[in-house]
Chains A and B, each alone.
Chain A
Amino acid sequence: MANLKPMPAATKISAPFWQALKEEQLKIQQCNSCNGWVFFPRNHCSHCLAHDLDWKEVSGEGTLYSYTLTRIPTMPEFSDEMPQALAVVELAQGVRINTTLIDVAEEDIKIGMAVKPVFDKVSKDGETLLRFTSTSNAGGVRDYIDPLKDLERNDKGQVQVPVSNLAALYALADNNFTDWSNNIVVDQELINAFADLSGDDYWLHTDPERAKTDSPFKTTIAHGSLVQVLQSRLTIALPFEITGFKTMVNYGSNRLRFPAPVPAGSTIHGRTKVKDISVSHKGVQLTLEMNIHVLDNDKPSVINDLVILYR
């Protein structure tokens, strides 16, 4: 996970804040010693330094202390929010919170206006950010909207993701593998053919008789690089197709590992997942993690992080 929108990493200190947001509550800390309100979360009071803070639920009503509308995104990942309505809200308790305003027209934003919280579900898993809106709006909860939901599909049923739709691209990196591919058998004949082609005729791959006694696997095994290239014979149904780019470049691999052997005669299959999407001046970079397994073996025989650049 590199360049998706930065997400909060809750600490032991701040976890109750984020957990409350998930439960559609706003909780901030109050000091039992001096009654001062504290934000952001700390282990001590920022008014008197006492280590005696309690979490209290508050309504979240407050006023807009200041804001700006960005005309250039602060990071490329935020280009889907343009203009970003970056805001500082002062809660009734006096603490200030950095946030964004949503659902308020540019001309209606006024410093000093009354605002209320919106619990914005930003991921399928319910991760929640605290945004604010005008008190004339409903407020409450903004449900997660799957950015892939309304996109078109091609005749193979693949969702069509324009390379310019960052929100949809990020949604592809959901950590879920595709279905398994077709099966293929890696027999001694195929291994021998690869030995001839590559010049790697080490006995562990090519001498079944010696392997019976000397190999830790009691049989010959396929070359790791053979299994790697066999990915071309595996048909993997990607659930998406990237569209709207000028060129697509195979940028190589970020990681190539052969964790488990493939004994001669094994049946293999593969699957993949989108590991990362990142955006830079070079274009949109998609990292696909390709895994090839021996049938029924949980440990992959090949892990290959393929990098594809669209521009």
Chain B
Amino acid sequence: MGLAGNAAIVGAAQYKPEKYQTAPQMFHLEQVADLAHQALQDAGLHKDDLDGLVINGPQFHEASVFVPAMAAEYLGIEVNFAEVVDLGGCTAVGQIWRAAAAIEMGLCQAVLCVIPARMAPLAPDEDPAWMAQAMRYGGHSTAFGAPEAEFDLPYGHMGQNTGYAMIAQRYASQYGYDEAAMAKIAVDQRFNAQYHKDAIFRGKDLTIEEVLASRKVADPLHVLEIVMPVAGGAAVIVASKELAARAKKRPAFVTGFGERLSFKSPSYAKDMTVTPVAEAAKRAFGMAGLSPKDIHAAQIYDCYTITVLLSLEDAGFIPKGEGQRFIKEHNLTWKGDFPLNTHGGQLSFGQAASAGGFSQVIEAFDQISNSADGRQLQGCDNVFVSGTGGVMSEQGALILQGG
């Protein structure tokens, strides 16, 4: 069961993360075309090679239904495979394996996976106040009949921070909590960001003391352990083995994947400290015929430091409960013995809405294709990528391998 490894990432494009206030405003359709153009150039392929499209549905500016049709028409392409993925921060990983699966089934040969995440221009009579209103409840639905509107919001349970904080508290009560170890995740990733020209926190060093001195948002999480939302956007081209042979760069073959959706609110998890990536990673490793010790770099979705800790443990890199000790004993930078989020992670690279998940996918491709500039790992053939949506609600895993 699963992939034979006959589809590969062959090209990518990613806007430099920028603050919303200063980033260019572009229609999402315009961003899709711009990112597609850049990604095709990166791959050395042509628009007419594209015959598949996977795009985000939620938060697409110019349409809420018929999004793939509108985007394909705008691009001037016809496709044999069109898909919308709605998995929050796991969308990027979810797009890649769906594209690979469609290619291996023979539906198509080259799929554009894309998430625009710069703001669109306001209409002449548009009051920007609606955006603040829409952001008020974070990812929480306020619709009549939505369980979270009825049973969470009246108590002030809202957004992502407090859910992740409660997961961390539960973890602490079971396994202990070492604040400095958690801070070190952010610090080692910040080191990596100094070697990525586009990272939003490039040029700003970070120490464990600074993380621990930063403002607490919800116990035990400090603000510097929480990702910063930025404007951005990304596209990746997944292509068949045959097309990949024509690509400019060394392809990153998709040899394993897994996906697991366990709940919306972690309050209803079977066990709050066992995350869905456990199942997803097991499936991905099994499919690729690899184990965590075969992995040369781990690109772990990092909306919070606690997300990284739990993902590393549950994906099988570290035994359960030993993550904090492991983090303190190992150098997690690209120069170290356990290269983690070698672009800085979203914590230091920036989180461009659900396109933030592409930063991990693209870093894996950059490392495998020898495009990682000053932070290039030597002999990087096998990379693990995770994606996380909601509050540890849904997670995905990819194994990417150089051919």
Contact = CB atoms under 8 A, between A and B. Distances in A.
B225 to A, nearest CB: 13
Nearest to B144: A9
A63 B338 CA distance: 39
Nearest to A282: B129
B156 A68 contact: no
B6 interface: no
B153 A6 contact: yes
B122 interface: no
Contacts of B149: 6, 8-9
Contacts of B216: 71
Contacts of A110: 173
A194 interface: no
A40 B173 CA distance: 26
Contact of A40 (B142, B147, B156, B170): B147
Interface stretch (A73-81, A181-189, A215-223): A73-81
Interface string B343-368: 00000000000000000000000000
B166 interface: yes
B180 interface: no
A68 B173 contact: no
Given A6-B153, A9-B150, A68 B144 contact: no
A277 interface: no
Nearest to B143: A9
B154 A111 contact: no
Interface in A63-102: 65-75, 78, 81, 84, 86, 88, 96-100
A96 B152 CA distance: 12
B218 A70 contact: yes
A70 B159 CA distance: 12
Q: How large is the interface on B (under 10, 10 to 19, 20 to 34, 35 or more residues)?
A: 35 or more
Contacts of A71: 215-219
Contact of A98 (B137, B155, B215, B217): B155
Contacts of A7: 154
Given A70-B218, A71-B219, A74-B157, A98 B152 contact: yes
Interface in B265-286: 265, 267-268, 272
Nearest to B269: A96
A68 B268 contact: no
A67 B272 CA distance: 12
A98 B157 contact: yes
Interface residues of A, number: 37
B161 interface: yes
Interface in A239-285: 280-281
Given A98-B265, A111-B170, A86 B157 contact: yes
Contacts of B218: 68-72, 86
A129 interface: yes
A112 interface: yes
A10 interface: yes
Interface string A1-37: 0000111111100100000000000000000000000
Interface string B133-177: 000110000101101011111111111011001110110010000
A74 B158 contact: yes
Interface in B67-90: none
Contact of A96 (B144, B159, B268): B268
B132 interface: yes
Interface in A108-140: 110-112, 129, 131
B282 to A, nearest CB: 25
A66 B152 CA distance: 15
Nearest to B142: A6
Contacts of B165: 68
B156 A74 contact: yes
A71 to B, nearest CB: 4
A217 to B, nearest CB: 37
Contacts of A5: 154, 156
Nearest to B174: A111
Contacts of A70: 156, 161-162, 217-219
A84 B165 CA distance: 13
Nearest to B223: A72
28 contacts: A5-B154, A6-B153, A10-B150, A14-B150, A40-B147, A66-B169, A68-B169, A68-B218, A68-B219, A70-B162, A70-B219, A71-B215, A71-B216, A74-B158, A74-B161, A75-B137, A81-B156, A86-B162, A88-B166, A88-B272, A96-B268, A98-B151, A98-B267, A100-B155, A111-B169, A111-B170, A111-B173, A281-B132
The 7 closest A-B pairs by CB, nearest first: A68-B165, A111-B173, A6-B153, A66-B170, A66-B166, A71-B216, A74-B158
Interface of B: 132, 136-137, 142, 144-145, 147, 149-159, 161-162, 165-167, 169-170, 173, 215-219, 265, 267-268, 272
Given A68-B169, A281-B132, 16 more contacts: A6-B154, A9-B149, A10-B150, A40-B147, A67-B169, A71-B217, A72-B215, A72-B218, A74-B157, A74-B159, A84-B162, A86-B156, A97-B267, A98-B155, A129-B154, A131-B155
